[in-house]
Structure 1
Amino acid sequence: MKAIRCVAPGGLDHLTHTDIPDAPDPGPGEIRVRLRASSLNFHDYGIAAGIMPTEDGRIPMADGAGEVEAAGDGAPFAVGDHVVSTFFPDWADGPPPIADFSTTPGDGVDGYAREYVTRPARYFTKAPEGWSHQEAATITTAGLTAWRALVVDGGLKAGDDVLVLGTGGVSIYALQIARAMGARVFATSSSDDKRARLEELGATATVNYRTTENWGAEIARLSGGGVDHVIEVGGPATLAQSIQACRIGGHMALIGVLTGRSGEIPTAAMMAKHQRLQGLIVGSHAMQRDMVRGMEVTGIRPAIDRTFALAELADAFRHEESGAHFGKICVSI
């Protein structure tokens, strides 16, 4: 079968489209999945581009969706079921049991840039009913991150105000979830064309962060005193503005490292506003099952920017690098 491997010394030019042995028959509690789609995340980019170290020859991609081709004894899926992968296969429920990526597909173990995989059934949940494989593949990382930030950690309720930064997969998912649950959404982007698209998706107001230097104060003004939740995907270069945009006693979900992995934080400003800064990385099986049900009930469908073939994975990452995308970039397998 075909697969993509990350070959030393790393980098997009060293992603190799190659043949690997076929996936074995599933044993007890295992399933063999014919993978049909994956989707790109910043973490996957870090691995593929050689920014984040991994084992030579690693098969990348944390997100995988497809149909069950064979099921071992005791597996909770049947042949033909549509399934989607989990980011932390061993985190079933409860508090996070892991603080690294040692079990994450595409990082600590081989991922889903391949045609077939045989894995324990706990590596997957069912996909939302009626979704395409490309749509389902967006849940594993971006979708569940937005769901946990708002619903699980944030306790989102109707009437809340939410700020999303930019137009990547997590931010667009957060906008859609918040709107479906009766919240107002404010958003930032450097593109006026993308701002118009954000407003078409239901954003109450948007701010161009390049032309409005103090965009945090502007979001606070537009929202009438500050938002209840910030989906903070930027990191050190945006956190100070997010603190300004967030209300007294508000919640900031620290998700991304798009502007770096460390930096100066105005802790006094956050303390003075009694704010809660919650770090998170994706979520558990139980959270993903709840999200799947939530997507089915609300009718949300993910925003997919563009789909590439598996052999074009390097080009897909270059498209992600460009920042031209709106929502998720997918790979058809």
Structure 2
Amino acid sequence: MNQQDRWGDGAADAFEGDGSESQTRRRRLAGELRGLRDLAGLSGRQLADLIQISQSKVSRIESGATIPSLPEVRRWVEAVQAPAETRDRLADLTQAVVYEVHTWRGATRGKAHLQDDVRRQESEATLVRNFQCMVVPGLLQTAAYARAVFGLYEHPYGKGDLAAATAGRIRRQEALYDVDRRFEFLITESALRARPGPASLLPAQLDRIASVSTLETVRIGVIPQNATALVMPLHGFVIYGGDDDPDGSDVYVEVETDHARLTISDADVERYRRRWSLLAEMALFGDDVRVFLGRLAAEMQNEIRNAENMAF
């Protein structure tokens, strides 16, 4: 259980990262920026006005709670009139912090599962947008589907840890009923058809998605296989935060790879926002989604019945 799930759910089993190196860089950047402001004799409000962000964001950056973008760091060092060598050094440090890489090996060290960490992460964003092309997102999974997904780890869970991870994933889904939160999902038809376990898992999973799609806090889109492609995504991704978050600027993206989780919080976030918009243009929503899911579930039920008949 020390490698990321090959069927990672887009926010699946991320986090706390490797700890030492990435967190040290983040604390160092926060401390240096705070020190430069103090040396310049500027208050947090004065600096915020100069670099055109909110005072609260200045505070969050200096505490290490928020990672600044490279343009924000450049404006910061210009506002405090830092020397050129300091500007270059902080630009390099910011790049190292902005593109954080957390290996699954490091993230899972000493933990039975990471679902509680993901739950805390999700709780900090009022808007979560999740695109998956190979698996149903974890926030929409049934317990049986989730258990099958966890079973695909290269290093499988023990019996007790498997139950704990499955329960943790289901607890995450309580957030879907929080009226102050918004969740949007884009799922390909291929992801809906993929089988992490027996075919009998899928009809109930499709029914679960259809049911959740009726919640006011949730918007679900399905991209049919026959949709004309406007973009060719190579992987899933999750966007945390949006225009309704404070400042509209504390937005970051997470991309899961086979060995690690990549966190993106600079100008490249806009690339993923554009991809989301194009993918949404390809998708079905609302009643059309529920009709599509119903047809797909019926097709799968027929396949299961035919297989059972052939067995006799």
TM over 0.5: no
Specify which structure has the higher proportion of helix: 2
The normalised TM-score by structure 1 is 0.25
Q: Which has the higher contact order (CA 8 A, sep 6+)?
A: 2
**Which protein shows a greater Rg?**
2
